[in-house]
Amino acid sequence: MFPWLAPDADTASSRLRAVRDTSLPKLVRDDLLERILGGELRPGDRISEPDVSARLSVSRVPVREALRELESSGLVVSRKHAGVFVRCIEPEEVRDLYEMRALLDGFAGEKAAALPPAERESLAQALRESTTTMADAVASEGVRDYYTENLRFHWLIVEAAGNLALRASYRELVQKLHLSRLRSLSRGLAMRTSIQEHQQIVQAIDAGDPAATRALLARHVGDAHRRLSAEPVPA
């Protein structure tokens, strides 16, 4: 579902090399992260250390380290004498996260629209294809497909900005926001309005207009949050 979690098309040997070069706590963390973001572990669910340890055939030490890292990123919460739970994001925090996302999306769009012409045109083409995929999802009422492609659309812009700190902050923020959406992904979305906004963003990037792109993305994210109060709509 998340672009940065998608397996690449690399060879089996390179994938094994990546596993070999990764610490055990990180492998446990990535496994739990995929289960949380995939909806297998939902907000409010308790994460059992013994169960994770047995399922992955590891000791409880790397499991504890993985849970501590997930807690520091705001995805789980530890409750004394109760255990570790997937966090439930409250409306006030959702509002704050959307405000920050509007800033990050706007900054990324401004940087992307200022790319050299060849890079900008390549990005705009990829974004147009993404918008077409979203339109196909609307036609088939594929809410989850739309949501996934919508995330990829924004991630393409963030990646194009070429700022590693931005990518890390954006990834963590969107993962938190995802916790507030897990219960609503099966419901209908006002997707057509969102697609029109995406098309305007692509036009601004293609035209090489950083100021317009920044404004459009910031407004788009803000509007998505306002629509969310009535029905869940992805930005």
One digit per residue, the tens of pLDDT, for the chain of length 235 reads 688 776 554 544 444 455 554 688 889 998 998 888 878 898 899 999 999 999 999 999 999 999 999 998 889 999 988 999 999 888 899 999 999 999 999 999 999 999 999 999 999 999 999 999 999 988 887 878 888 899 999 999 999 999 999 999 999 999 888 887 765 554 445 677 888 999 999 999 999 999 999 999 999 999 888 877 665 445 5
pLDDT in the model for residue 136: 92
Burial 11-32 (b: 16+ CB within 10 A, else e): eeeeeeeeeeeeeebeebbebb
Q: Helices 24-37 and 60-72, interaxial angle, to 10°?
A: 60
Query: Residue 172: exposed, middle, or buried by beta-carbon count in 10 A (0-12, 13-18, 19+)?
Result: middle
Whole-angstrom distance, CA of residue 122 vs CA of residue 124? 5
Distance of CA 66 to the CA centre of its chain: 20
- Characterise 102 by phi-psi region: left (phi > 0), alpha (psi -120 to 50), beta (else): alpha
- Whole-model pTM: value is 0.79
Q: Which residues share a beta bridge with 173?
A: none
Query: Residue 80: exposed, middle, or buried by beta-carbon count in 10 A (0-12, 13-18, 19+)?
Result: exposed
pLDDT in the model for residue 100: 97
Domains of the chain (ranges plus CATH)?
10-86 (1.10.10.10), 91-228 (1.20.120.530)
CB 104 within 8 A of CB 166: yes
Q: Is the dihedral of CA 105, 144, 195, 113 positive or negative?
A: positive
pLDDT in the model for residue 186: 47
